[in-house]
Structure 1
Amino acid sequence: MKTKFNYLIILLACLFFMACNQESKQLKQSQLPQNIDWEYQMAYQRGIEAVNWSIPAVSMICMRDANFGLGGSYNTVYWLSAPPTASIEALTANNQTPYASIFLNTKEGPVVLDIPPASDRTAIFGSAVDIWQEPVADIGPAGEDKGKGGKYVFLPPEYGGKEIEGCINVHVNSYQVFVALRCIPLGGASYKEAAEYSKNINAYSATKISNPPEGEYIDMAGKHLPTLPKYDDSYFKYIKELIDTEPLQERDMVMGGMLASIGIVKDKPFQPSEKVKKALKKAITDGYDYLEYMFETPGFSFIKQWDDRQWMAIREPSNDGFVFDEGDYLLIDDRGSLFHWATFFPRYLGKATAYLNAMKDADGNFLKGEKQYKLTVPAEVPARDFWSVIVYSKKTKAWIYSDTGRVGLSSYDKENMKLNDDGSVDIYFSKTAPEGMESNWIPTNGEDFFLLFRFYGPQESYFDKSFELPDVQILK
């Protein structure tokens, strides 16, 4: 009898345990998310990360393709014989100084870039960057040649050959190198004279260094140049090109795995399913919105210049300048937020140019295209060479089209503007010009906008912040 009782106790215990275990399984199952399409969800999430990660490189590829659309190819010098207008669709470009752009490819071996010395009429300032827009060489008086000119030799990834004596040898982590140069007029030189200096620049294979070929030069003036990244279905095709043509660095291996999960694999066709296509289409839209959020939010690519004002300065991401690889980690948000609106940053700011950004008026409201605003620029601005203020579309980060063709004003224009009694100048921003102040007006064409105020040859009062630029005032 006792034995039967013990068996009964054991049986009841087992039944109780089984019931509890079953209840636990049911509970766990009921806590799992229901009706989630994980293939879609992961493609969407990884798509957003891919947008943020890739924007520096995609921007460079789009710029390269736009220039090649004018003719020429790698090693061609693209230059501007006249001040550019809004038909040059580029991220926050400057309209005051002549530009020259050169695209290099070291896939077949080292490439030489000949830079002429500065003269008493023109000096070249600029940078060479890799496909990630990481500065690899500053060029000109503020760069490695110190204004004396020279031969920059760009060496491909994992280059095992000898460096070329007597040259400035630059090791690069990508095959493609992108060069943007400004030809600064000096000593009363005209824009055209400084622009013509671009024809002293040359690029060619290092195998021809002893007998350089004639350079190829294409004038971009007056031509349409659509360099802006497009946040649409084509975006992931640019990422595919990037994976196919450039080495994936060790720091990017995890992202390489994420891209593989959505079908972007080196040297394999990119043929996403309809479901993945839908997810990536949503990802590119939301990826753009995330980049916009970082653009607007201090702490990513901007910081406050003065605590009591709306002007923001560009934030250098690390003590080593505009280099986003910290060794243990990659500053992916800092990098994405910066190259969403800009290109071609030198390693360090301040030697040639300093920038301030205004997205908001004195009341802290975003600048609107249908409103009218005024900025009073003091008589004395700490810019040894000149200052300029330019209007950019909030949506595209490029110049705004208008019938006038005017995109900005500068200290070069003061002789044509109306000045205040104390020497300061009022500059107006609106869809239509204030009566009698047409010479002091930059059109917005009704588009929401932001400003960049540039200091060329910034001086000490900019850096110690004793110079204060008034906020933008709303008029109506």
Structure 2
Amino acid sequence: MTQPHEASLTGDETIETSFGTIRLEQNYPTDESSALLLNELDAQRAAQAYVWFTPLMGSATWRDQAAATFGATSLSDFVVYQTLREKRGILTANLTTPYIGNFMSLAEGPVLFDYPAGPTAGGVLDFWQRPATDLGQTGPDGGNGGGYVVIGPDADASPYDDSGRIVVRSATVNCWILFRVLDQDPKVMESVKDGFRIWREGQEAASANFIENVDREWSATPARGLRYWEDLANVLGQEPVREIDKGIMAMIAPLGIAPGQPFAPDDRQRLILENGAAIGELMARANQVSPRHDAPYWPGTNWFKSFDFSLEQETDTSVQLDERATWFYEAVGSSKGMVEPTVNKGQVYMTTKRDADGNLIRADRTYRLHVPAGMPVKQFWSLTLYSEATRRAYDNGGTAIRDISLDSRDEELVFNTDDSIDLYIGPTAPEGAETNWMKTTGDDGWFVYFRLYGPTQEYFDKTWALPDFTTT
């Protein structure tokens, strides 16, 4: 018996692998060994397919769960996510500004909408979560509002050449509109809603139906186990196969997932798919915790810039597979303003999973984050707490947004005399620091996003840096 790296792969040979014993007889794998090898081939492919389809599944899960939870089932149905419970369903949602969004299919033709003027940020995204366009401050309307038309992957854009509208092409049949209102004044929110119109080509312009005050717990975290693959097969059946996906589609065909075919795995496929979903998620999580493709943004710290890949999710030579999986496993959405912020415009998302000693942060310890004075933001900053298990806003029993998200507009925060501030996360608050503290519970491991809205030059030239968490 020999190990794979020592095997000659000839004659009669017994090879011990991590997944079982392989026997060769006169160069051929025995029937039992062939079955073992093919099962392992499918298992490896299932795990890699989980990683590959991560951004697509983030879109599909949110769409399907929003329809089930909020009744957002038509083109004009736009959910307004404002309360803690409404936002806690979204992967790493920001808790400082309301979201407004809906999903749509272009299978029945282009969609037109009038976008309102105002302090907003958002975009139209395809189902791989690539921005077809930004909207608002970082979009072509520049925050002044404008008319848009969204067309499908193969649609003819020429009919809109003289329409005065901004033509947006989605690379997928399914796509979504999502934007945030950056001003807390309720009058601004009402103005934005009043100015929004949406309709399908050939129909009359119509006001959106804004679904509000549902205040219900829900989850857009992609399912685990066989349900993950059921959901994947469903959304793949709605989309044409892209050239770039043909290889991975060949890999999942032996697992019972193919366009135009019902998803009905046999017992062998079912077990492989269930294991593949678990291993694939663990691989995505390992890459998220210990990214091999990136380095900390500020030297000497453990803070990473969450977006460190292109809008297209690929380069001239490769798909940015690990880079996009790292983000879309733990988060949802992208825009030019998020991926390519510029001085005073866009948003920066910083994250860490380790303390100043390089140890993984834990829920049973209390940590201090010292935020130096001179925060490089034109608008505001926020620190938001998330669960590593769900990647959604942390559930510590609190009912107020500030229980799991602190920001510079919070009048309850206590700053130091030099305008720096100390923030705390852990099971107990240091004495006198209760208003600057977010609670963790049990063994629910956590991570944070430190968001900078309107980053200034000091962020880009790194003359200001955020130190690591330290234990108290």
CA drift at 1:392: 0.9
- Contact kept, 8 Å, 1:183 with 1:197, in 2: the verdict is no
2:323 to 319, 331, 334: 334
Say yes or no: does 1:472 pair with 2:469: yes
2:140 to 140, 144, 148: 144
Say yes or no: does 1:217 pair with 2:216: no
CA drift at 1:309: 1.2
Q: Distance in 2 between matches of 1:81 and 1:400?
A: 17
Query: Which residue of structure 2 lines up, in the alignment, with residue 462 of structure 1?
Result: 459
Say yes or no: does 1:451 pair with 2:453: no
Query: Which residue of structure 1 lines up, in the alignment, with residue 108 of structure 2?
Result: 108
Query: Which residue of structure 1 lines up, in the alignment, with residue 89 of structure 2?
Result: 89
Say yes or no: does 1:170 pair with 2:168: yes
Q: Distance in 1 between matches of 2:469 and 2:214?
A: 32
2:227 to 234, 256, 280: 234
- Contact kept, 8 Å, 1:78 with 1:220, in 2: the verdict is no
1:395 to 375, 389, 408: 389
After superposition, the Cα gap between the structure-2 partners of 1:207 and 1:418, relative to the gap in structure 1 and judged at 3 Å, is same
Query: Which residue of structure 2 lines up, in the alignment, with residue 349 of structure 1?
Result: 340
Query: Which residue of structure 2 lines up, in the alignment, with residue 376 of structure 1?
Result: 370
Q: Distance in 1 between matches of 2:115 and 2:199?
A: 12
After superposition, the Cα gap between the structure-2 partners of 1:329 and 1:436, relative to the gap in structure 1 and judged at 3 Å, is closer
After superposition, the Cα gap between the structure-2 partners of 1:176 and 1:444, relative to the gap in structure 1 and judged at 3 Å, is same
Aligned AA (1:393):
S
CA drift at 1:435: 2.9
Say yes or no: does 1:202 pair with 2:197: yes
Note the aligned Cα RMSD (angstroms): 2.1
Specify the SS of the correspondent of 1:465. coil
Query: Which residue of structure 1 lines up, in the alignment, with residue 244 of structure 2?
Result: 251
Give the structure-1-normalised TM-score. Answer: 0.87
CA drift at 1:97: 0.6
Specify the SS of the correspondent of 1:303. coil
Specify the SS of the correspondent of 1:154. strand
Unaligned runs of 5+ in 2: 1-9, 14-23
Specify the SS of the correspondent of 1:309. coil
- Contact kept, 8 Å, 2:307 with 2:349, in 1: the verdict is no
2:274 to 281, 288, 295: 281
Map 1:254-265; keep pairs closer than 5 Å.
254-265=247-258
- Contact kept, 8 Å, 1:83 with 1:97, in 2: the verdict is no
When Rg is computed on C-alpha atoms for both structures, the one with the higher figure is 1
Specify the SS of the correspondent of 1:455. strand
Specify the SS of the correspondent of 1:285. helix
CA drift at 1:427: 0.9
CA drift at 1:426: 1.2
Specify the SS of the correspondent of 1:471. coil
Q: Distance in 2 between matches of 1:117 and 1:172?
A: 23
- Contact kept, 8 Å, 1:80 with 1:195, in 2: the verdict is no
Query: Which residue of structure 2 lines up, in the alignment, with residue 7 of structure 1?
Result: none
Say yes or no: does 1:316 pair with 2:316: no
Q: Distance in 2 between matches of 1:204 and 1:71?
A: 18
Deviations 1:328-387 (Å, cap 9, x if unpaired)? 532222222221011111133313101211211111111100100111112320111001
- Contact kept, 8 Å, 2:78 with 2:208, in 1: the verdict is no
Q: Distance in 2 between matches of 1:169 and 1:308?
A: 45
Aligned AA (1:202):
R
Specify the SS of the correspondent of 2:429. coil
Q: Distance in 1 between matches of 2:87 and 2:159?
A: 41
- Contact kept, 8 Å, 1:62 with 1:227, in 2: the verdict is yes
CA drift at 1:81: 6.8
Equivalenced residues, count: 437
Specify the SS of the correspondent of 1:416. coil
Q: Distance in 1 between matches of 2:395 and 2:175?
A: 30
Q: Distance in 1 between matches of 2:156 and 2:136?
A: 28
Please say which of residues 75-84 and 143-152 is displaced more in the overlay: 75-84
Unaligned runs of 5+ in 1: 1-23
Aligned AA (2:169):
H
Identity within the alignment, %: 27
Aligned AA (1:150):
G
Aligned AA (2:57):
V
Query: Which residue of structure 1 lines up, in the alignment, with residue 154 of structure 2?
Result: 158
Q: Distance in 1 between matches of 2:215 and 2:329?
A: 26
Map 1:8-19; keep pairs closer than 5 Å.
none
After superposition, the Cα gap between the structure-2 partners of 1:395 and 1:30, relative to the gap in structure 1 and judged at 3 Å, is farther
Query: Which residue of structure 2 lines up, in the alignment, with residue 44 of structure 1?
Result: 43
Aligned AA (1:326):
T
After superposition, the Cα gap between the structure-2 partners of 1:67 and 1:137, relative to the gap in structure 1 and judged at 3 Å, is same
Specify the SS of the correspondent of 2:25. helix
Deviations 1:365-422 (Å, cap 9, x if unpaired)? 1110010011111232011100100111122211111232311101011x31222222
After superposition, the Cα gap between the structure-2 partners of 1:424 and 1:221, relative to the gap in structure 1 and judged at 3 Å, is farther
